[in-house]
Amino acid sequence: MIGKKALITGGSFGIGEALAKKFAQNGIDTVLVARNGEKLELVKKEIESSTKSRSYVYRADLITADLQKLYHDITSEHSIDILVNNAGFGTIGPFYKLDTKGEVNMVELNVRVPVELTSYFLKDWIKNGVKGTIINIASLAAFLPIPYFSTYAATKSFLLSFSEAIRREVEDFGIKVITICPGGIKTEFQKRAGVPDNIYTMQNYMDVNTAVDLMWKAINKGKSPYIPGTNNKIYGFLASLVPKGFIAKLGKIFMKRYFATG
C-alpha cells in the first residue's frame, strides 16, 4: 500500500478513472476532481458498490478554478497522502491552424495545474512530515518533438523534466515523485484530441486497464520515469539516442500519414 487517500485530477474517465478504481481495489480512498460532475458521481458509485473504499468528488474546471481555494477546501476535509496529476488534453493539427485559446488552455491544464498543486502539497507535506507520493501522468510524447501534436508533446516534456528534478529534491524527506509516460491508450482523451477511429486498428493502442495494472506495479516499486508496455519502452529508448531534429522529421511523416493533417 502506497498511501491512505489519493487526490486524482481528471478522475471522471480514462486513466484517472481506471487508477481511482485500482486504488480503491487496494484499500485506498479517493478524492476525484473533474469538470463532469455527473460522470464523477457514476465513478464514485461504481467504486463504493464494488469495493470497501470510499470515494469523494469535487466538480471543478481546473483551468479556471481558484486552485489554492480548491486545495484548502479538499485538505480541510481530507488527509491526502497521494496526489495524482492526471488531468490533461491534447489537440492534433498544424499549430498555426489550431485555436489559440485552446492551445493556451492546454498549457494551463497540462503544466500550470500540476505545478501549482504539487507546490501546495509539497509545502504542507514537508512542513508536517508527511511521506506522501506524487504521481504525474506525462506521456511517451514527452520524449519526442511531435509535429501536429506540438503543444501537447511540449507540455508533457516539461512535466517529465519537472517531475524528475523535484523527485531528487524531495526524496530525502521520504516523499516519492513518480512520472508515468504511457503510449497510446484508447480513452476519451484520444477522441478529444481528434484521433480517427481507424487508427486503433493500425497502431498498437493499449487497453486502459492493462496499462493501469502495469502502472500500479511500477508505482509500488517506485519506478520513475515509467513507460508501460515493451514496445513503448523501446520507442522511448530509441528516442533518447536519436537527434531531436531527425525525430521531428520522422514525426512529421508519421503524423501526416496516419492523421491526415497539414
**Residue of 235, 249, 246, 238 whose CA lies nearest to 204:** 235
Backbone angles phi, psi at 70, to 5 degrees: -60, -45
Per-residue DSSP letter, 97: G
Is the pLDDT at 188 greater than 90, yes or no? no
**Whole-number mean pLDDT of the chain?**
91
| pLDDT at position 228 | 94
pLDDT at 251: 87
| Tens digit of each residue's pLDDT (9 = 90 or more) over 118-154 | 999 999 999 999 999 999 999 999 999 999 999 999 9
Stated pTM of the model? 0.90
Q: What is the pLDDT of residues 9-45, one digit of tens each?
A: 999 999 999 999 999 999 999 999 999 999 999 999 9
Q: pLDDT at position 175, please?
A: 97
Q: What is the pLDDT of residue 210?
A: 93
What pLDDT is stored for residue 206 in this prediction? 84
Identify the pLDDT of residue 90: 94
The answer to whether 258 touches 203, Cβ cutoff 8 Å, is yes
In this structure, the chain runs to a length of 262
Contacts of 169 (CB under 8 A, 6+ apart): none
Q: Which residues contact 45 (CB under 8 A, 6 or more apart)?
A: none
Q: What pLDDT is attached to residue 191?
A: 57
**C-alpha span between 34 and 32 (Å, rounded):** 7
Over 50: is that where the pLDDT of 202 sits?
no
Residue 260: pLDDT band (50, 70, 90) is low
pLDDT score of 197: 56
pLDDT computed for residue 3 by the predictor: 74
Q: Which domain holds residue 246?
A: 5-259
> Is the pLDDT score of 56 beyond 80?
yes
Q: Is the pLDDT of residue 211 over 80?
A: yes
How much is the pLDDT for 107? 98
| Count of structural domains, the chain | 1
194, pLDDT greater than 80? no
β-strand partners of 82: 6, 133
CATH number for the domain spanning 27: value is: 3.40.50.720
Q: What is the Cα–Cα distance from 220 to 142, expressed in whole angstroms?
A: 22
pLDDT bracket for residue 187 (50, 70, 90)? low
